[in-house]
Structure 1
Amino acid sequence: MEKQTLSIIVPAYNEEETLALFVDEVNAQTLDLPLDKTFYFINDGSSDQTLDVIKSLSKKHSNIKYISFSRNFGKEAALLAGLRVATGDYVTVMDADLQDPPHMLNEMYAKILEGYDIVGTRRISRKDEPFIRSLFAKTFYKIINKISSTQMVDGARDYRLMTRQVVDSVLELPEHNRFSKGLFSWVGYDVTYLEYKNVERVAGKTSWSFWGLLHYSIDGIINFSDAPLSLATFIGLISFLISVLMSLFYTLKTLLWGEVVQGFPTLIILILMLGGLQLLSLGIIGKYLSKVFLETKQRPNYFIKEDNIEK
């Protein structure tokens, strides 16, 4: 019987310090894994020596493949490129900084043999992570799980082991604006999660800033829920009702008691309040329209400048 294969997809952006450590650690921790491994490094327009390091590693190891983008297209594009070229019976997605513990692949594979289609991982602690970042992450999962029919596990990572059938299903989703955590959940299948404590990077610095993560979270909410649009409608309705009640109140107050309404402060407050609510609602609607606009362009998610993958 032919030995089954594992494709390891590794998006890399300015990871020159971690790549060799990553390959050595994965190989050392998966010696007993009965799968032939192939690494797929996706160089996402790195500005350091990441591509040179990957090329050097590919000359030493025949099972190292790479794709290099023409510029930085983002992690979602890198994940998609990796999924498209991965040919393994099983596919995993890992970060090159070793925050995704390689030794867990053994346990993940054991779970796959039990009958699961996806074995994901989730962090149960955020030790050494900035408090504000942890707070926003927890808040994001609470919000998305209340307003979306696609449930996402708090602390879930992109790090997961999937069967070929799951990967093929994910690749059938044609949208340009991708949020992989949601897509992996949306396709369904039998899923289980393994828990682990937060692991620090082995070297280098993260490319994710707070604002980058916040923008990514907003994209996730918009891609998997229309609740913000309903909120904009609700805000508009409430504002209208408040304005009607205030009009009736001041009209009756003037007719019954003859009190003169102080117009300037009231007018300024109403203008600021209603103007702010209108801008908020327009901003929400505009965000959805921008997604539709990008989808209709049908631009490629990325361009490949060079690779060593056999066509």
Structure 2
Amino acid sequence: MSTQLAARPALPVHAARPALSVVVPAFDEEAVLPAFHARLVPVMEAIGLPFEVVYVNDGSRDGTLGVMLALRAQDPRVSLVNLSRNFGKEIALTAGLDHAAADQAVVVIDADLQDPPEVIPDLVAAWRQGYDVAYARRRAREGETWLKKATAAGFYRVMQRIGGKVDLPADTGDFRLMSRRALDALLALREQHRFMKGLFAWVGFPSIPVPYDRAPRAAGETKWNYWRLWNLSLEGITAFTVGPLKVATYLGLATAFGAAIYGIQLIIRTILWGNPVAGYPSLMAVVLFLGGVQLMTLGIIGEYLGRVFNETKRRPLYIVERHLPSEATDQRQARS
């Protein structure tokens, strides 16, 4: 089957467009997808607007693709985007947003049912009040360890302090609704290293939080271990602030200042009491400390340099192996 490079798809002039698109990226979610779709559809039908569900298979190794094909065979409102391999959640989410055909708003939600579909009507209600972005803010995080909660809270605090002009809402994930104009602004950002929570905040527009209680995962296992969460936090910090570079600069200045003070007192001691042979342990401690500071500074610079290198290659964000659009009918006259 032919592959398709990741350019933002254009709808034919005559194509019918749903009012709402629900974008659902998934990686190895075979166990939970049927239950998710069964809960999502009644919620969306009760809203009273024509909709589609855009499932994105991010190179799953289990039967996720087969489940998505079965759902599409049963429900013509299902759209399927199958990526050629695993590109990661941030890219898979971008692929789903690129292929969302809605002309009014888009909802982003995970398939694991930790973000309940029953919250979507609250997001829609906030959007109908005139807000372009309604983001779901967690009041409680059931099924997560205290360490994960503590590290997440620490990350949001760090981002709020060093994020500059980007105000990243605390206790907020990807679960949200965006108007079409906010989505179009977001899709204009095609950077390779994507931290979607930061990009959502960067585009601005009137926004409002919608509180909800996050549920435990309904089935399967989380794909976000602490190593992946650490790498995601690095993406967020380096993508939206040069704070680490400033920290490296200040650390270098502090080290140089400390070395100068040490040198001055060494000169004074030598003048007053002579110059005894320095001990080997203290010499090694100073050498290792300075070497560690230098290597850490080089590592920070390398993180930013690597991102510049990736951006200059101008590769497509993803490759689509297969795109099966929904068959939603044009009911725009019913929304007037």
Distance 2:101 2:17 in 1: 14
For residue 42 of structure 1, the aligned residue among 36, 42, 56 is 56
Deviation, structure 1 residue 23 = 1.0
Distance 1:100 1:128, change over 3 A: closer
Verify: 1:262 aligned to 2:246, yes or no. no
1:268-295: per-residue Cα shift (whole Å, max 9, x none)? 1111100000011111111000110110
RMSD: 1.5
Paired position in structure 2 for 1:296: 312
Verify: 1:137 aligned to 2:171, yes or no. no
Paired position in structure 2 for 1:114: 129
The number of aligned residues is: 309
User: What pairs up with 1:62-77 in 2 under 5 angstroms?
Assistant: 62-77=76-91
Match of 2:125, SS state, is helix
Paired position in structure 2 for 1:15: 29
Match of 1:208, SS state, is coil
Distance 1:96 1:3 in 2: 23
1:54-76: per-residue Cα shift (whole Å, max 9, x none)? 00111111111101111100011
Give TM-score scaled by structure 2 length: 0.89
Percent identity at matched positions?
Answer: 39
For residue 206 of structure 1, the aligned residue among 195, 203, 222 is 222
Match of 2:23, SS state, is strand
1:100-144: per-residue Cα shift (whole Å, max 9, x none)? 111111111111111100000011222331122111111000001
Contact 1:158 1:181 in 2 (8 A): yes
The gaps in structure 2 that reach 5 residues or longer are 1-15, 327-336
Deviation, structure 1 residue 218 = 1.0
Distance 2:29 2:179 in 1: 28
Distance 1:209 1:133 in 2: 10
Contact 1:10 1:40 in 2 (8 A): yes
Q: Which aligned segments of 4 or more residues in structure 1 are displaced greater than 3 angstroms? A: none
Match of 2:80, SS state, is strand
For residue 113 of structure 2, the aligned residue among 80, 98, 104 is 98
Task: Considering Cα pairs closer than 8 Å and 6+ residues apart, tell me whether 1 or 2 has the greater RCO.
Answer: 2
The gaps in structure 1 that reach 5 residues or longer are none
1:142-184: per-residue Cα shift (whole Å, max 9, x none)? 0010001211111102011111000000011121111110011
Match of 1:304, SS state, is strand
Match of 2:111, SS state, is coil
Contact 2:28 2:64 in 1 (8 A): yes
Paired position in structure 2 for 1:188: 204
Deviation, structure 1 residue 259 = 5.0
Distance 2:227 2:187 in 1: 28
1:256-275: per-residue Cα shift (whole Å, max 9, x none)? 12251424222211111000
Contact 1:95 1:159 in 2 (8 A): yes
Distance 1:289 1:256, change over 3 A: same
Give TM-score scaled by structure 1 length: 0.96
Paired position in structure 1 for 2:39: 25
Deviation, structure 1 residue 30 = 3.1
Distance 1:101 1:127 in 2: 12
Distance 1:213 1:28, change over 3 A: same
